[in-house]
Every structure is written in structure tokens, then in C-alpha cells.
């Protein structure tokens, strides 16, 4: 690994992952000298720069050491990892964090008029896909001999064009499949955007920068959707109240001046605090309920 004192993160230049990736980095306190149209953004708040590229190039850029980290779909990362293994190359990148956006699945879909009775039906069939490695691995695990037809785009129209019998493609809502008279029958992998990094640890200044970035990202990912719940209650009501907050971090309990049996309590909750939950808490003895959004958290 060549020595460098700035960290370089590759993200998608344009497409589904581009804006969420930039938002996430911004929330982690990273700012850049803007150049959306060009390839490189210079990091201003920290020595962390951005490279704007095609998502398919990201694993390779990490493998070559051109970039240190990347935001990419697990589908792309896993496909290219399998490809390296098939070529007898060692692991060059790995998934460091899941990022919670870009959710989709790589699925098998067949024409709607097939009477689906299980994966064995695929034996001897042609399956159009942009993910031949992941499809191949799935078929091998089930001992099914099918023929992958590798297409780089417009996979879902292949059956109608007579190029293939079935498809293995990315699905989020399923609307594209339906529009092409296809039915999703098997999920090959569940995917979302991940932060990818090299298989080996950084040895120079980048080690500390990467650790700092990961700590901040963990904070950002943890607070997403979290709420701070504050209320007062008789001490005796606490067990019942905590049962209504199963997703809470261990709460802070404070004594209220001049009221020995009363406490004030605050707890960070991971899930939505619904009106129903607040009403249940009130019935269980909570008073002065306050729910606040959490902006930042540093463990």
C-alpha cells in the first residue's frame, strides 16, 4: 500500500447512490470544495477527498489502492469479490459498514405464465443477468445447471426478446418486473449501500482518519430515527414504563427535589414513538412526556 496522508473516498458520480452518499458524508461533518461535474472533490473540513465515479469501478479502485474507501451496493461488491475468487485472486476489499440506503435485492424472475414449482425448473434454461458470479454461485449451491446470459443493461426485456427464458436482476418495488410480465420467485441476495474498504488495515495517517470517519458514521447511523424521550413518574411505575420502552438505551434516572418517590427520566429510543405508545406510558404513570429528535451522538 502506497503511503498517503489524505483519505480518498469513491462515491457514485450520478445515480441512485450519489445523493444519499453525499448526504451521509455531510452529516458526518465532511465538506468539500464543490465540483459536482468533475471527478475530484477536495476535502475542506478534514483531509478526506472524494472521487466521483461509476459505481462498478469502485471495488477495483479500492483493490488498486487508487481509493481507500467507497460507497457502493453490496450487489456490486459481492459480484466483483466472486469474480476475483474465480480468477484465483485474493480478497482485496471488504464491507466495513451497512449504510441503510439503496436497499434492493438481486432476484430471479420468470415469465408470469410459468407455474413456478421451485429452482429445479431452471435446469437447462437461459437466465439473463448482469450478475453472473452471484447467479452462478446460487445455482452451484443448488446443483442446478442453467446457462447465464450476461447483459450489461435492459435485462428485464430479455425474455420478451427471446434472448433468455428467465432473468436475475435487481428489484426494489418490483414494478419493472410486472411491466415486463415477469414474476419474482427467488431472492439471491439482499443488498443495500455499504462502505467498502481494503482487505488489509491502513498503516499510515489514513488509519486514524478512517477510524475517525467510522466513529462519526456510527454516530450518524445510530441517531437516524432515534428519539430522546423525557418524562417524570413515580419510582414504583418505572418497571412498567421501561417495558413500554424495549428499544431504549439504559436510561438516566434523576431524583426530583422535594419529592422522594418521584423521578425524572430520559432515554434514547431507537424506534418510532407513536401516540399509542405515549398514551400507554401516560396510563402507566408517566407525566410531562417530551419526545425530542436526536441530532448527534458520540459513543
Q: Other CB atoms closer than 10 Å to residue 217's CB: what's the count?
A: 18
**Contacting residues for 154 by C-beta, under 8 A, at least 6 apart:** none
Cell of 222: 445510530
How large is the C-alpha radius of gyration of the chain?
Answer: 25
CB closer to Zn ion out of 55 and 165: 55
Please report how close the Cβ of residue 160 comes to Zn ion at its closest, in angstroms: 23
CB closer to Zn ion out of 56 and 280: 56
Cell of 224: 437516524
The helix or strand, by DSSP H or E, that contains position 207, with its residue range, turns out to be: helix 206-223
Among 18, 31, 42, 56, binds Zn ion (CB under 5 A): 56
**Is-contact 32 233, C-beta < 8 A?**
no
CB closer to ligand ATP out of 127 and 241: 127
Q: How far is CA 160 from the centre of its chain?
A: 33
Residues 132-191 within binding reach of ligand ATP (CB under 6 A): 170, 172, 191
55 binds Zn ion (CB under 5 A): yes
Spell out, one character per residue from 42 to 61, where the chain touches ligand ATP: x when CB under 6 A holds, - when not: ------------xxx-----
Among ligand ATP, Zn ion, none, partner that 16 touches (CB below 5 to 8 angstroms by kind)? ligand ATP
How far, CA to CA in Å, does 123 sit from each of 157, 159, 292? 21, 16, 55
Query: Which among 132, 134, 136, 156 is positioned nearest to 145, based on CA atoms?
Result: 136
Query: Which among 152, 186, 189, 180 is positioned nearest to 74, based on CA atoms?
Result: 189
Please report how close the Cβ of residue 76 comes to ligand ATP at its closest, in angstroms: 5
DSSP state of 119: G
169 binds Zn ion (CB under 5 A): no
Burial degree of 49 (CB within 10 A; 0-12, 13-18, 19+): buried
Residues 175-234 within binding reach of Zn ion (CB under 5 A): none
Spell out, one character per residue from 200 to 239, where the chain touches ligand ATP: x when CB under 6 A holds, - when not: ----------------------------------------
How far, CA to CA in Å, does 68 sit from each of 71, 271, 283? 11, 33, 53
Among Zn ion, ligand ATP, none, partner that 17 touches (CB below 5 to 8 angstroms by kind)? ligand ATP
Among 76, 134, 268, 269, binds ligand ATP (CB under 6 A): 76
57 binds Zn ion (CB under 5 A): no
16 binds ligand ATP (CB under 6 A): yes
Helix (H, G, I), strand (E, B) or coil at 159: helix
CB closer to ligand ATP out of 45 and 172: 172
Spell out, one character per residue from 15 to 54, where the chain touches Zn ion: x when CB under 5 A holds, - when not: ----------------------------------------
CB closer to ligand ATP out of 170 and 265: 170
**How far does the chain reach from its first CA to its final CA, in angstroms?**
31
130 binds ligand ATP (CB under 6 A): no
Interaction site with ligand ATP (CB under 6 A): 12, 15-17, 54-56, 73, 75-76, 102, 104, 170, 172, 191
Interaction site with Zn ion (CB under 5 A): 55-56
Amino acid at each position: 500500500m502506497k503511503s498517503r496522508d489524505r483519505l480518498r473516498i469513491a462515491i457514485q458520480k450520478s445515480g441512485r447512490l450519489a445523493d444519499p452518499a453525499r448526504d451521509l458524508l455531510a452529516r458526518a461533518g465532511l465538506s468539500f470544495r464543490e465540483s459536482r461535474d468533475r471527478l475530484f472533490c477536495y476535502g475542506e473540513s478534514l483531509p478526506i477527498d472524494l472521487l466521483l465515479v461509476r459505481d462498478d469501478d469502485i471495488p477495483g479502485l479500492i483493490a488498486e489502492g487508487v481509493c481507500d474507501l467507497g460507497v457502493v451496493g453490496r450487489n456490486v461488491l459481492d459480484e466483483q469479490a466472486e469474480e476475483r475468487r474465480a480468477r484465483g485472486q485474493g480478497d482485496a476489499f471488504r464491507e466495513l459498514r451497512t449504510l441503510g440506503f439503496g436497499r434492493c435485492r438481486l432476484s430471479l424472475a420468470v415469465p408470469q405464465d410459468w407455474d413456478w414449482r421451485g429452482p429445479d425448473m431452471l435446469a437447462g434454461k437461459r437466465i439473463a443477468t448482469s450478475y453472473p458470479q452471484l447467479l452462478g454461485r446460487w445455482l452451484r449451491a443448488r446443483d442446478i445447471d442453467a446457462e447465464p446470459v450476461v447483459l450489461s443493461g435492459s435485462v428485464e426485456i430479455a425474455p420478451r426478446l427471446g434472448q433468455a427464458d428467465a432473468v436475475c436482476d435487481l428489484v426494489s418495488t418490483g414494478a419493472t418486473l410486472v411491466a415486463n410480465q415477469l414474476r419474482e420467485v427467488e431472492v439471491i441476495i439482499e443488498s443495500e449501500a455499504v462502505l467498502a474498504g481494503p482487505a488489509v488495515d491502513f498503516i499510515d495517517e489514513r488509519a486514524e482518519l478512517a477510524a475517525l470517519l467510522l466513529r462519526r458514521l456510527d454516530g450518524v447511523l445510530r441517531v437516524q430515527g432515534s428519539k430522546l424521550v423525557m418524562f417524570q413518574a413515580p419510582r414504583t411505575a418505572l418497571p412498567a414504563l421501561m417495558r413500554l420502552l424495549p428499544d431504549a438505551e439504559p436510561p438516566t434516572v434523576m431524583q426530583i427535589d422535594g419529592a422522594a418517590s418521584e423521578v425524572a427520566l430520559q432515554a434514547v429510543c431507537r424506534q418510532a414513538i407513536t401516540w399509542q405508545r405515549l398514551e400507554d406510558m401516560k396510563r402507566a404513570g408517566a407525566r410531562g412526556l417530551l419526545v425530542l429528535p436526536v441530532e448527534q451522538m458520540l459513543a
